[in-house]
A and B are shown apart, each in its own frame.
Chain A
């Protein structure tokens, strides 16, 4: 609780700000929870917490980042409570689980065909939103969270570190692994759809 002259956001302004970012908020919630109903509950719970914590919003210009942080924190604390679903470790630290780096670009890039075709760009052109969503949904939670925050939401590493309460170095390394895992998943999704170009440079499996 703060005292003194800070002006807290009015209810009208709060509502306008929330409704203005409700689409992205809901999108992030859906990607974190992977479930429409849970996503709606998560948004509602986060908005309630945000209203209670409105005194901690220093500057209404920072509303978006502040609200996303609350949403992510709410998700994390709710997940910690719900240990009924034990298989997915939320914020495990990086050890084990090494599969090696994976890069779609390295699989597809053909330097000698550069001027005539561009298989890696074609690959991206053919990917649908739902392919990206499916690959994201298939990631382990601690990877999905950093990708959603860094790439879907566009938060800076420092903001992600603060949100997840981990050092920035951990954000860097986790994000690198998460992106590699995402590309591996996209590659699988693409294969399931028959999207992988047949004359890919490195079709080793």
Chain B
């Protein structure tokens, strides 16, 4: 794989969120990755957007209230 950056900041930034989501086709993913290796500003932006996404995904790690847990247990018993 060559390390040449064939993607400018503008193109890289429009693809950044899909890059982070790993939703780009392989070739484009690699191009963005190459660009990020050479561009500090885009790299910082990628770090920021990834961390924000991580903060959001951390929201899902929580316990259901025990009231809801009991209700669901009872509900399933009745199936």
Q: Across the interface, which residues of A come within 8 angstroms of B40, CB to CB?
A: 111, 114
Stretch of A72-80, A90-98, A119-127 that contacts chain B:
A119-127
Q: Across the interface, which residues of B come within 8 angstroms of A109, CB to CB?
A: 41, 44-45, 48
A183 to B75, CA, bound (A): 39
> Is there an interface contact between A104 and B69, defined as CB atoms closer than 8 Å?
no
Known A11-B76, A22-B72, A44-B72; judge A105-B48 contact (CB<8 A).
yes
Interface of B is mostly: helix
Question: What are the interface flags for B52-70 relative to A under an 8 Å C-beta threshold, 1 for contact and 0 otherwise?
Answer: 1101111111111101110
Q: How large is the interface on A (under 10, 10 to 19, 20 to 34, 35 or more residues)?
A: 35 or more
Known A23-B64, A24-B61, A114-B44; judge A157-B76 contact (CB<8 A).
no
Tell me the nearest residue of chain B to A168, going by C-beta.
B23
> Is there an interface contact between B48 and A27, defined as CB atoms closer than 8 Å?
no
> Which residues from chain B sit less than 8 Å from chain A, CB to CB?
17-18, 21, 23, 40-41, 44-45, 47-49, 51-53, 55-65, 67-69, 71-73, 75-76, 79
Q: Across the interface, which residues of B come within 8 angstroms of A138, CB to CB?
A: none
